[in-house]
Chain A
Protein backbone atom coordinates (compact mmCIF):
# COMPACT_ATOMS: atom_id res chain seq x y z
CA UNK A 1 0.00 0.00 0.00
CA UNK A 2 1.16 3.49 -0.80
CA UNK A 3 1.27 5.79 2.21
CA UNK A 4 1.99 9.44 2.71
CA UNK A 5 2.16 11.27 6.06
CA UNK A 6 1.58 14.98 5.88
CA UNK A 7 2.54 16.88 9.02
CA UNK A 8 1.18 20.37 9.36
CA UNK A 9 2.52 22.75 12.01
CA UNK A 10 0.39 23.50 15.08
CA UNK A 11 -0.18 27.03 13.85
CA UNK A 12 -1.48 25.93 10.43
CA UNK A 13 -4.70 27.77 9.57
CA UNK A 14 -7.98 25.99 8.93
CA UNK A 15 -7.76 27.12 5.34
CA UNK A 16 -4.37 25.44 4.96
CA UNK A 17 -5.74 22.19 6.38
CA UNK A 18 -8.76 22.32 4.06
CA UNK A 19 -6.49 23.01 1.10
CA UNK A 20 -4.37 19.98 1.99
CA UNK A 21 -7.51 17.82 2.24
CA UNK A 22 -8.72 19.19 -1.07
CA UNK A 23 -5.44 18.24 -2.74
CA UNK A 24 -5.74 14.69 -1.38
CA UNK A 25 -9.39 14.48 -2.46
CA UNK A 26 -8.22 15.09 -6.02
CA UNK A 27 -5.06 12.96 -5.91
CA UNK A 28 -5.64 9.68 -7.80
CA UNK A 29 -2.83 7.97 -5.83
CA UNK A 30 -4.83 8.41 -2.63
CA UNK A 31 -7.84 6.17 -1.82
CA UNK A 32 -8.19 7.05 1.84
CA UNK A 33 -7.63 10.13 3.98
CA UNK A 34 -7.23 10.00 7.75
CA UNK A 35 -7.15 13.25 9.70
CA UNK A 36 -5.36 12.55 12.96
CA UNK A 37 -7.37 13.98 15.85
CA UNK A 38 -7.36 15.97 18.04
CA UNK A 39 -6.88 19.18 16.06
CA UNK A 40 -5.84 22.48 17.65
CA UNK A 41 -8.73 24.60 18.96
CA UNK A 42 -8.64 27.14 16.13
CA UNK A 43 -9.55 24.47 13.57
CA UNK A 44 -13.10 23.09 13.31
CA UNK A 45 -13.03 19.29 13.34
CA UNK A 46 -16.52 19.14 11.80
CA UNK A 47 -15.51 21.36 8.92
CA UNK A 48 -12.33 19.41 8.19
CA UNK A 49 -14.02 15.99 8.40
CA UNK A 50 -16.94 17.27 6.30
CA UNK A 51 -14.44 18.43 3.69
CA UNK A 52 -13.04 14.95 3.06
CA UNK A 53 -14.57 13.34 0.00
CA UNK A 54 -17.01 10.75 1.44
CA UNK A 55 -15.53 8.11 -0.92
CA UNK A 56 -12.09 8.62 0.68
CA UNK A 57 -13.36 8.94 4.25
CA UNK A 58 -11.77 5.71 5.53
CA UNK A 59 -12.38 6.77 9.13
CA UNK A 60 -16.14 6.61 8.44
CA UNK A 61 -16.87 9.86 10.30
CA UNK A 62 -18.07 12.04 7.42
CA UNK A 63 -21.71 12.91 8.22
CA UNK A 64 -22.86 11.45 4.89
CA UNK A 65 -21.25 8.14 5.81
CA UNK A 66 -22.67 8.20 9.34
CA UNK A 67 -26.10 8.85 7.82
CA UNK A 68 -25.66 5.86 5.49
CA UNK A 69 -24.59 3.79 8.46
CA UNK A 70 -27.73 4.71 10.41
CA UNK A 71 -29.92 3.98 7.39
CA UNK A 72 -28.17 0.66 6.81
CA UNK A 73 -26.67 1.57 3.43
CA UNK A 74 -23.21 0.35 2.35
CA UNK A 75 -20.50 2.75 3.58
CA UNK A 76 -17.10 2.75 5.27
CA UNK A 77 -17.83 1.89 8.91
CA UNK A 78 -15.99 3.73 11.68
CA UNK A 79 -12.92 1.61 12.43
CA UNK A 80 -13.31 0.79 16.12
CA UNK A 81 -16.98 -0.27 16.02
CA UNK A 82 -16.28 -2.12 12.77
CA UNK A 83 -13.42 -3.94 14.50
CA UNK A 84 -15.72 -4.91 17.38
CA UNK A 85 -18.23 -6.38 14.92
CA UNK A 86 -15.46 -8.38 13.21
CA UNK A 87 -14.15 -9.66 16.55
CA UNK A 88 -17.61 -10.92 17.44
CA UNK A 89 -18.33 -12.59 14.13
CA UNK A 90 -14.88 -14.11 13.72
CA UNK A 91 -14.85 -15.53 17.25
CA UNK A 92 -18.11 -17.36 16.52
CA UNK A 93 -20.23 -14.93 18.54
CA UNK A 94 -22.60 -13.71 15.84
CA UNK A 95 -24.66 -10.95 17.47
CA UNK A 96 -27.89 -11.93 15.65
CA UNK A 97 -30.72 -12.33 18.16
CA UNK A 98 -28.38 -11.63 21.08
CA UNK A 99 -28.73 -8.84 23.62
CA UNK A 100 -25.77 -6.51 23.20
CA UNK A 101 -25.31 -3.98 25.98
CA UNK A 102 -23.11 -1.08 24.94
CA UNK A 103 -21.74 0.94 27.84
CA UNK A 104 -20.93 4.45 26.65
CA UNK A 105 -22.48 6.60 23.96
CA UNK A 106 -19.55 8.41 22.37
CA UNK A 107 -19.74 9.55 18.77
CA UNK A 108 -16.72 7.43 17.84
CA UNK A 109 -17.67 4.12 19.49
CA UNK A 110 -20.94 3.77 21.42
CA UNK A 111 -23.44 5.38 19.07
CA UNK A 112 -22.06 4.06 15.76
CA UNK A 113 -21.62 0.56 17.24
CA UNK A 114 -25.24 0.56 18.42
CA UNK A 115 -26.35 1.71 14.97
CA UNK A 116 -24.28 -1.02 13.25
CA UNK A 117 -25.45 -3.92 15.41
CA UNK A 118 -29.18 -3.05 15.30
CA UNK A 119 -29.36 -3.17 11.48
CA UNK A 120 -31.14 -5.86 9.54
CA UNK A 121 -27.87 -7.23 8.14
CA UNK A 122 -25.45 -10.10 8.38
CA UNK A 123 -23.33 -9.93 11.52
CA UNK A 124 -25.87 -7.57 13.09
CA UNK A 125 -29.59 -8.11 13.96
CA UNK A 126 -28.90 -7.79 17.67
CA UNK A 127 -31.11 -6.28 20.33
CA UNK A 128 -29.02 -3.31 21.37
CA UNK A 129 -29.21 -1.46 24.66
CA UNK A 130 -27.12 1.65 25.17
CA UNK A 131 -26.38 2.56 28.78
CA UNK A 132 -24.44 5.58 29.95
CA UNK A 133 -23.75 7.86 32.88
CA UNK A 134 -27.43 8.89 32.92
CA UNK A 135 -28.58 5.37 33.87
CA UNK A 136 -29.45 4.78 37.51
CA UNK A 137 -27.96 1.31 37.79
CA UNK A 138 -25.59 0.20 35.05
CA UNK A 139 -25.16 -3.31 36.50
CA UNK A 140 -28.90 -3.96 36.10
CA UNK A 141 -28.29 -3.83 32.35
CA UNK A 142 -24.80 -5.34 32.14
CA UNK A 143 -26.06 -8.47 33.91
CA UNK A 144 -28.65 -8.98 31.17
CA UNK A 145 -26.07 -8.87 28.38
CA UNK A 146 -25.18 -11.78 26.16
CA UNK A 147 -22.50 -9.51 24.72
CA UNK A 148 -21.12 -6.65 26.78
CA UNK A 149 -19.15 -3.83 25.17
CA UNK A 150 -17.33 -1.48 27.52
CA UNK A 151 -16.58 1.88 25.95
CA UNK A 152 -16.82 4.38 28.76
CA UNK A 153 -13.20 5.47 29.04
CA UNK A 154 -12.94 4.72 32.76
CA UNK A 155 -10.40 2.15 34.00
CA UNK A 156 -11.90 -0.96 35.64
CA UNK A 157 -15.45 0.43 35.40
CA UNK A 158 -16.82 -3.06 34.70
CA UNK A 159 -16.22 -5.32 37.68
CA UNK A 160 -16.93 -9.04 38.05
CA UNK A 161 -20.15 -8.52 40.05
CA UNK A 162 -21.61 -6.66 37.06
CA UNK A 163 -21.10 -9.56 34.64
CA UNK A 164 -23.05 -12.76 34.27
CA UNK A 165 -21.45 -16.15 33.80
CA UNK A 166 -20.85 -16.86 30.09
CA UNK A 167 -21.02 -13.28 28.81
CA UNK A 168 -18.91 -12.24 25.82
CA UNK A 169 -16.95 -9.18 26.94
CA UNK A 170 -15.39 -6.67 24.53
CA UNK A 171 -13.22 -4.03 26.14
CA UNK A 172 -12.81 -0.92 23.99
CA UNK A 173 -11.28 1.22 26.74
CA UNK A 174 -7.66 2.33 26.61
CA UNK A 175 -6.76 4.20 29.79
CA UNK A 176 -3.42 5.29 31.15
CA UNK A 177 -3.11 4.22 34.77
CA UNK A 178 -0.17 5.44 36.89
CA UNK A 179 2.28 2.58 37.56
CA UNK A 180 5.61 3.34 39.20
CA UNK A 181 7.01 -0.07 38.22
CA UNK A 182 6.95 0.97 34.54
CA UNK A 183 9.66 3.08 32.99
CA UNK A 184 7.02 5.36 31.45
CA UNK A 185 5.30 5.75 34.83
CA UNK A 186 2.02 4.30 33.56
CA UNK A 187 0.44 1.19 32.11
CA UNK A 188 -2.51 0.71 29.79
CA UNK A 189 -5.75 -0.56 31.27
CA UNK A 190 -9.14 -1.22 29.73
CA UNK A 191 -12.58 -0.34 31.07
CA UNK A 192 -12.93 -3.92 32.34
CA UNK A 193 -11.39 -5.33 35.51
CA UNK A 194 -9.75 -8.02 33.41
CA UNK A 195 -8.67 -10.93 35.65
CA UNK A 196 -11.85 -11.36 37.73
CA UNK A 197 -14.15 -10.70 34.78
CA UNK A 198 -12.22 -13.20 32.64
CA UNK A 199 -13.12 -15.86 35.24
CA UNK A 200 -16.80 -15.41 34.41
CA UNK A 201 -16.81 -14.41 30.75
CA UNK A 202 -16.98 -16.99 27.96
CA UNK A 203 -14.85 -14.73 25.73
CA UNK A 204 -12.95 -11.56 26.59
CA UNK A 205 -10.63 -9.16 24.77
CA UNK A 206 -7.40 -8.08 26.48
CA UNK A 207 -6.03 -4.53 26.63
CA UNK A 208 -3.71 -4.03 24.87
CA UNK A 209 -3.98 -6.60 22.06
CA UNK A 210 -7.76 -6.82 21.69
CA UNK A 211 -9.76 -4.11 19.99
CA UNK A 212 -6.74 -1.88 19.28
CA UNK A 213 -5.14 -3.96 16.51
CA UNK A 214 -8.57 -4.42 14.92
CA UNK A 215 -9.07 -0.65 14.71
CA UNK A 216 -5.88 -0.27 12.69
CA UNK A 217 -6.77 -3.27 10.54
CA UNK A 218 -10.22 -1.92 9.70
CA UNK A 219 -8.68 1.38 8.64
CA UNK A 220 -6.62 -0.50 6.06
CA UNK A 221 -9.64 -2.63 5.14
CA UNK A 222 -11.67 0.53 4.50
CA UNK A 223 -8.82 1.92 2.39
CA UNK A 224 -8.74 -1.15 0.17
CA UNK A 225 -12.54 -1.06 -0.16
CA UNK A 226 -12.33 2.62 -1.11
CA UNK A 227 -9.66 1.85 -3.72
CA UNK A 228 -11.86 -0.83 -5.27
CA UNK A 229 -14.83 1.56 -5.28
CA UNK A 230 -12.84 4.47 -6.75
CA UNK A 231 -11.39 2.32 -9.51
CA UNK A 232 -14.61 0.76 -10.66
CA UNK A 233 -14.58 3.30 -13.48
Chain B
Protein backbone atom coordinates (compact mmCIF):
# COMPACT_ATOMS: atom_id res chain seq x y z
CA UNK B 1 0.00 0.00 0.00
CA UNK B 2 1.37 3.41 -0.91
CA UNK B 3 0.46 6.16 1.52
CA UNK B 4 -1.60 9.14 0.47
CA UNK B 5 0.21 12.43 0.88
CA UNK B 6 -1.14 14.90 3.45
CA UNK B 7 -1.36 18.19 1.61
CA UNK B 8 -0.12 20.87 4.01
CA UNK B 9 -0.49 23.60 1.39
CA UNK B 10 -4.17 22.80 0.98
CA UNK B 11 -4.70 22.68 4.76
CA UNK B 12 -2.98 26.07 4.98
CA UNK B 13 -5.31 27.48 2.31
CA UNK B 14 -8.29 26.48 4.45
CA UNK B 15 -6.84 28.13 7.55
CA UNK B 16 -6.03 31.27 5.55
CA UNK B 17 -9.63 31.48 4.29
CA UNK B 18 -10.79 31.52 7.90
CA UNK B 19 -8.15 34.16 8.76
CA UNK B 20 -9.29 36.39 5.89
CA UNK B 21 -12.85 36.36 7.18
CA UNK B 22 -11.64 37.13 10.70
CA UNK B 23 -9.56 40.03 9.42
CA UNK B 24 -12.59 41.47 7.62
CA UNK B 25 -14.73 41.41 10.73
CA UNK B 26 -11.88 42.76 12.89
CA UNK B 27 -11.60 45.66 10.48
CA UNK B 28 -15.32 46.40 10.21
CA UNK B 29 -16.27 45.77 13.84
CA UNK B 30 -13.23 46.96 15.75
CA UNK B 31 -11.17 48.92 13.27
CA UNK B 32 -8.19 46.65 13.94
CA UNK B 33 -5.56 45.61 11.40
CA UNK B 34 -3.60 42.72 12.92
CA UNK B 35 0.12 43.41 13.27
CA UNK B 36 2.91 40.86 13.67
CA UNK B 37 6.52 41.49 14.71
CA UNK B 38 9.07 38.83 13.76
CA UNK B 39 12.45 38.82 15.50
CA UNK B 40 15.25 37.13 13.62
CA UNK B 41 18.70 36.98 15.15
CA UNK B 42 21.25 36.10 12.49
CA UNK B 43 22.51 32.60 13.11
CA UNK B 44 24.63 30.20 11.13
CA UNK B 45 21.84 27.60 11.26
CA UNK B 46 18.90 29.97 10.81
CA UNK B 47 16.70 29.79 7.75
CA UNK B 48 16.17 33.38 6.63
CA UNK B 49 13.67 32.51 3.92
CA UNK B 50 11.02 31.48 6.47
CA UNK B 51 10.76 35.07 7.68
CA UNK B 52 10.33 36.21 4.09
CA UNK B 53 7.69 33.54 3.56
CA UNK B 54 5.78 34.73 6.62
CA UNK B 55 6.09 38.33 5.47
CA UNK B 56 4.65 37.45 2.07
CA UNK B 57 1.78 35.47 3.61
CA UNK B 58 0.97 38.41 5.90
CA UNK B 59 0.88 40.77 2.94
CA UNK B 60 -1.50 38.47 1.06
CA UNK B 61 -3.85 38.32 4.03
CA UNK B 62 -3.76 42.00 4.98
CA UNK B 63 -1.68 41.62 8.13
CA UNK B 64 0.91 44.26 8.94
CA UNK B 65 4.21 42.51 9.38
CA UNK B 66 7.57 43.83 10.39
CA UNK B 67 10.70 41.72 10.47
CA UNK B 68 13.46 42.81 12.85
CA UNK B 69 16.75 41.43 11.57
CA UNK B 70 19.21 41.49 14.44
CA UNK B 71 22.95 40.82 14.22
CA UNK B 72 24.53 37.64 15.52
CA UNK B 73 26.14 39.65 18.34
CA UNK B 74 22.75 40.64 19.83
CA UNK B 75 22.66 40.18 23.61
CA UNK B 76 19.83 38.99 25.89
CA UNK B 77 19.44 42.56 27.19
CA UNK B 78 19.09 44.03 23.71
CA UNK B 79 16.46 41.58 22.59
CA UNK B 80 14.57 41.92 25.89
CA UNK B 81 14.59 45.70 25.45
CA UNK B 82 13.15 45.36 21.96
CA UNK B 83 10.41 42.98 23.15
CA UNK B 84 9.44 45.40 25.92
CA UNK B 85 9.05 48.11 23.31
CA UNK B 86 6.89 45.83 21.15
CA UNK B 87 4.80 44.85 24.19
CA UNK B 88 3.86 48.53 24.52
CA UNK B 89 3.31 49.15 20.81
CA UNK B 90 -0.43 49.15 20.02
CA UNK B 91 -0.14 48.23 16.32
CA UNK B 92 1.73 45.04 17.30
CA UNK B 93 -0.62 42.24 18.35
CA UNK B 94 1.76 39.36 18.15
CA UNK B 95 5.48 38.69 18.59
CA UNK B 96 7.22 35.77 16.91
CA UNK B 97 10.81 34.95 17.84
CA UNK B 98 12.72 32.79 15.40
CA UNK B 99 15.08 30.11 16.75
CA UNK B 100 17.88 31.88 18.61
CA UNK B 101 21.61 31.19 18.52
CA UNK B 102 22.82 29.27 21.58
CA UNK B 103 24.33 32.27 23.39
CA UNK B 104 20.83 33.68 23.92
CA UNK B 105 18.48 32.41 26.64
CA UNK B 106 15.29 31.46 24.80
CA UNK B 107 13.33 30.49 27.91
CA UNK B 108 14.08 33.83 29.56
CA UNK B 109 13.39 35.83 26.40
CA UNK B 110 10.12 34.07 25.59
CA UNK B 111 8.78 35.02 29.05
CA UNK B 112 9.23 38.74 28.38
CA UNK B 113 6.59 38.66 25.66
CA UNK B 114 3.26 39.93 26.97
CA UNK B 115 1.03 36.78 27.26
CA UNK B 116 -1.70 38.32 25.08
CA UNK B 117 0.89 38.94 22.33
CA UNK B 118 2.47 35.50 22.72
CA UNK B 119 1.19 34.07 19.42
CA UNK B 120 3.62 31.14 19.72
CA UNK B 121 1.88 29.99 22.89
CA UNK B 122 5.16 29.51 24.77
CA UNK B 123 4.70 31.90 27.70
CA UNK B 124 4.43 29.98 30.98
CA UNK B 125 0.97 31.44 31.56
CA UNK B 126 -0.30 30.27 28.17
CA UNK B 127 1.42 26.89 28.50
CA UNK B 128 -0.15 26.39 31.94
CA UNK B 129 -3.62 27.26 30.68
CA UNK B 130 -3.02 24.96 27.74
CA UNK B 131 -2.04 22.06 30.03
CA UNK B 132 -5.38 22.22 31.85
CA UNK B 133 -7.30 22.38 28.58
CA UNK B 134 -7.88 26.13 28.32
CA UNK B 135 -6.62 26.97 24.89
CA UNK B 136 -6.35 30.76 24.95
CA UNK B 137 -3.14 30.71 22.96
CA UNK B 138 -2.28 27.11 22.07
CA UNK B 139 1.22 26.31 20.79
CA UNK B 140 0.93 26.94 17.06
CA UNK B 141 2.91 23.99 15.72
CA UNK B 142 0.71 21.54 17.61
CA UNK B 143 -2.37 23.32 16.30
CA UNK B 144 -1.03 22.89 12.75
CA UNK B 145 -0.34 19.19 13.25
CA UNK B 146 -3.87 18.55 14.49
CA UNK B 147 -5.19 20.37 11.41
CA UNK B 148 -3.11 18.06 9.19
CA UNK B 149 -4.45 14.95 10.92
CA UNK B 150 -8.01 16.26 10.66
CA UNK B 151 -7.49 16.91 6.94
CA UNK B 152 -7.17 13.16 6.34
CA UNK B 153 -10.79 12.74 7.42
CA UNK B 154 -9.71 10.13 9.99
CA UNK B 155 -10.97 10.44 13.55
CA UNK B 156 -8.43 11.16 16.30
CA UNK B 157 -10.69 9.99 19.11
CA UNK B 158 -9.99 6.49 20.40
CA UNK B 159 -6.79 6.10 18.37
CA UNK B 160 -3.43 5.26 19.80
CA UNK B 161 -1.10 8.21 19.21
CA UNK B 162 2.64 8.00 19.77
CA UNK B 163 4.71 11.19 19.89
CA UNK B 164 8.45 10.76 19.33
CA UNK B 165 10.40 13.65 20.88
CA UNK B 166 9.57 15.93 23.81
CA UNK B 167 10.57 19.41 22.66
CA UNK B 168 8.92 22.54 24.05
CA UNK B 169 7.68 23.63 20.65
CA UNK B 170 6.35 20.33 19.31
CA UNK B 171 6.53 17.11 21.31
CA UNK B 172 5.08 18.13 24.65
CA UNK B 173 2.33 20.39 23.25
CA UNK B 174 1.14 17.92 20.60
CA UNK B 175 0.98 15.10 23.18
CA UNK B 176 -1.44 17.08 25.33
CA UNK B 177 -3.41 18.36 22.35
CA UNK B 178 -4.02 14.82 21.09
CA UNK B 179 -5.00 13.81 24.62
CA UNK B 180 -7.54 16.63 24.58
CA UNK B 181 -8.89 15.14 21.36
CA UNK B 182 -9.45 11.81 23.12
CA UNK B 183 -6.52 9.85 21.72
CA UNK B 184 -4.58 7.52 24.00
CA UNK B 185 -1.18 9.19 23.93
CA UNK B 186 2.33 7.87 24.58
CA UNK B 187 5.33 10.17 24.50
CA UNK B 188 8.70 8.54 23.80
CA UNK B 189 12.14 10.13 23.54
CA UNK B 190 15.90 9.71 23.53
CA UNK B 191 15.87 7.89 26.90
CA UNK B 192 13.39 5.27 25.72
CA UNK B 193 15.14 1.87 25.54
CA UNK B 194 13.08 0.48 22.64
CA UNK B 195 11.34 3.06 20.45
CA UNK B 196 9.81 0.55 18.05
CA UNK B 197 7.98 -1.23 20.90
CA UNK B 198 5.82 1.90 20.92
CA UNK B 199 5.95 3.24 17.37
CA UNK B 200 4.89 -0.05 15.79
CA UNK B 201 1.54 0.14 17.62
CA UNK B 202 0.77 3.75 16.74
CA UNK B 203 -2.32 4.59 14.70
CA UNK B 204 -1.07 8.17 14.67
CA UNK B 205 2.70 8.70 14.74
CA UNK B 206 4.11 12.20 15.22
CA UNK B 207 7.88 12.42 14.88
CA UNK B 208 9.84 15.50 15.98
CA UNK B 209 13.35 14.61 17.06
CA UNK B 210 15.55 16.37 14.49
CA UNK B 211 17.56 13.25 13.57
CA UNK B 212 17.28 12.10 9.96
CA UNK B 213 15.79 8.65 9.35
CA UNK B 214 15.01 7.92 13.02
CA UNK B 215 11.85 6.11 11.97
CA UNK B 216 12.28 3.28 9.48
CA UNK B 217 9.66 1.18 7.72
CA UNK B 218 9.74 -1.70 10.18
CA UNK B 219 8.99 0.66 13.09
CA UNK B 220 5.64 1.72 11.65
CA UNK B 221 2.25 0.04 11.86
CA UNK B 222 0.48 -0.86 8.63
CA UNK B 223 -2.06 1.87 7.89
CA UNK B 224 -0.67 4.47 10.32
CA UNK B 225 -1.00 8.23 9.87
CA UNK B 226 2.56 9.60 9.98
CA UNK B 227 3.41 13.24 10.64
CA UNK B 228 7.08 14.06 10.09
CA UNK B 229 8.02 17.35 11.73
CA UNK B 230 11.79 16.95 11.42
CA UNK B 231 13.75 18.76 8.79
CA UNK B 232 17.52 18.48 8.61
CA UNK B 233 19.86 19.73 5.94
CA UNK B 234 22.08 16.88 4.75
CA UNK B 235 24.45 18.13 2.08
CA UNK B 236 22.22 19.98 -0.34
CA UNK B 237 19.10 18.00 0.55
CA UNK B 238 16.46 18.41 3.22
CA UNK B 239 15.61 15.15 4.94
CA UNK B 240 12.96 14.29 7.50
CA UNK B 241 13.04 12.29 10.74
CA UNK B 242 11.19 9.58 8.86
CA UNK B 243 12.62 7.39 6.11
CA UNK B 244 9.93 8.30 3.61
CA UNK B 245 10.86 5.76 0.94
CA UNK B 246 10.29 2.91 3.39
CA UNK B 247 7.53 4.31 5.55
CA UNK B 248 5.20 5.41 2.77
CA UNK B 249 4.89 1.76 1.75
CA UNK B 250 3.20 1.03 5.09
CA UNK B 251 1.48 4.23 6.20
CA UNK B 252 -2.01 5.15 5.03
CA UNK B 253 -1.21 8.87 5.18
CA UNK B 254 2.10 10.70 5.42
CA UNK B 255 3.26 14.31 5.33
CA UNK B 256 5.73 15.22 2.58
CA UNK B 257 9.17 16.56 3.58
CA UNK B 258 8.31 20.02 2.35
CA UNK B 259 4.79 21.30 1.93
CA UNK B 260 3.54 19.34 4.93
CA UNK B 261 3.96 20.72 8.43
CA UNK B 262 5.63 23.99 7.38
CA UNK B 263 2.83 25.83 5.55
CA UNK B 264 0.10 24.92 8.00
CA UNK B 265 2.12 25.96 11.05
CA UNK B 266 2.76 29.39 9.55
CA UNK B 267 -0.98 29.67 8.94
CA UNK B 268 -1.67 28.66 12.56
CA UNK B 269 0.76 31.28 13.87
CA UNK B 270 -1.30 33.88 12.01
CA UNK B 271 -4.50 32.26 13.24
CA UNK B 272 -3.28 32.77 16.82
CA UNK B 273 -2.61 36.39 15.88
CA UNK B 274 -6.17 37.06 14.72
CA UNK B 275 -7.54 35.17 17.71
CA UNK B 276 -5.47 37.46 19.96
CA UNK B 277 -6.93 40.49 18.17
CA UNK B 278 -10.46 39.20 18.75
CA UNK B 279 -9.89 39.38 22.51
CA UNK B 280 -9.07 43.11 22.38
Contacts and interface: CB of A to CB of B under 8 A. Distances in A.
A68 B129 CA distance: 11
A178 interface: no
B191 A111 contact: no
Interface stretch (B33-41, B76-84, B118-126, B272-280): B118-126
Interface residues of A, number: 35
Interface in A129-152: 129-132, 134-136, 141
A97 B131 contact: no
Given A129-B185, A136-B158, A120 B124 contact: no
A96 B191 contact: yes
A107 B132 contact: yes
Contacts of B124: 63-65, 67-68, 71, 73
Nearest to A68: B124
B166 A118 contact: yes
A125 B187 CA distance: 10
Contacts of B183: 134
Contact of A63 (B125, B172, B184, B188): B125
B192 interface: yes
A136 B159 CA distance: 8
Interface residues of B, number: 35
Determine which residue in B122, B128, B134, B188 has the highest number of CB atoms from chain A within 10 A of its CB, and name it: B128
Given A64-B125, A97-B193, A134-B182, A112 B187 contact: no
B156 to A, nearest CB: 10
B256 to A, nearest CB: 28
A219 interface: no
Given A120-B189, A136-B158, A66 B184 contact: no
B184 A97 contact: no
Contacts of A132: 179, 182, 184
Contacts of A107: 131-133
A70 interface: yes
B253 interface: no
Contact of A67 (B125, B184, B186): B125
Contacts of A112: 131
A144 to B, nearest CB: 9
A105 B179 contact: yes
Interface of A: 46, 62-73, 96-97, 105, 107, 111-112, 114-115, 118-120, 125, 127-132, 134-136, 141
Given A111-B176, A129-B185, A134-B158, 15 more contacts: A70-B131, A71-B168, A71-B172, A97-B191, A105-B179, A115-B176, A118-B166, A118-B172, A118-B175, A118-B187, A127-B186, A127-B189, A131-B184, A134-B184, A135-B184
15 contacts: A62-B128, A63-B124, A67-B125, A70-B176, A71-B122, A71-B127, A97-B191, A97-B192, A107-B132, A112-B131, A125-B191, A127-B198, A128-B186, A135-B158, A141-B184
Interface of B: 107, 122-134, 157-158, 166, 168, 172, 175-176, 179, 182-193, 198
Lowest 4 CB-CB distances: which A-B pairs, in order? A67-B124, A63-B128, A66-B128, A67-B127
